[in-house]
Amino acid sequence: MIRKLSFFSVIVGLLLPAGELQAGSASTTVSFSAFFYGGSCDVTVPNTVTYNNGAPLPYDELPNNKQSSQFTLTLTGCQGYFLTPRIAVKGNTFAADNNERLYADASSTTKGYGVRLSTPGNTLFNANDNTAKSGNEVITIKTWPSGGTSNVERLNSSLDFTAVLACGTCTASDNLQNGELTATVTFSFLYD
């Protein structure tokens, strides 16, 4: 026996399960994000500090701090909240033959020579005799209220630095090698 299905019975057969279908649902996830900014200061220093107008230096110009260059770090646009400010100084360091820490990049072709950074301080920040020395990588503020202050505009100031070319004892040996010295240092204003 051959059965014939009409078009109507096929449509009805397909629609019968429709009563069991439910309305679709959609969901969306929303992420909320906020960045709380504790404040800072804009830090400005020269891009490059050169010695001897960029001309090569004879060896005898280094002992006794004969080659130095001064530059100024400027803090502007200071804002923030009540934490204690400080200036961090970071760079690649090595120990000279007298164990003095000096700045020098690994890409320098010289050996045993580096830069010693120091600051006499100012009315706000303490002096620092060698920012490369362990424990001296931060220039601290002289006084800051323990409960903080909203008067951070007073941090807008200048801080003088001296960058001395150094070589430890500068004794001729395998520890000293002529070449080009490069030292990259980053100054960052931070709140503790």
Average pLDDT of span 147-174: 87
Nearest in space to 133 (alpha carbons), one of 164, 93, 101, 165: 101
Q: In this structure, are residues 92 and 103 in contact, taking their beta carbons and an 8 Å threshold?
A: yes
pLDDT at 38: 64
For the cut 60, the answer to whether the pLDDT of residue 174 exceeds it is: yes
**Residue-wise pLDDT tens digits, 25-41:** 777 778 787 665 567 88
Domain spans in the chain, listed from the N-terminal domain onward: 42-47+62-191
44 forms beta bridges with 74
The CATH homologous superfamily of the domain defined by 42-47+62-191: Fimbrial-type adhesion domain (2.60.40.1090)
**Residue-wise pLDDT tens digits, 76-123:** 998 876 688 999 999 999 999 999 999 999 999 999 999 999 999 999
For the cut 70, the answer to whether the pLDDT of residue 7 exceeds it is: no
pTM of model > 0.85 = no
93 forms beta bridges with 103
76 forms beta bridges with 42
Do β-strands 68-76 and 42-44 pair in parallel, antiparallel, or remain unpaired?
antiparallel
Higher pLDDT, 52 or 132: 132
Task: Give the chain's radius of gyration (CA, Å).
Answer: 33
pLDDT at 142: 92
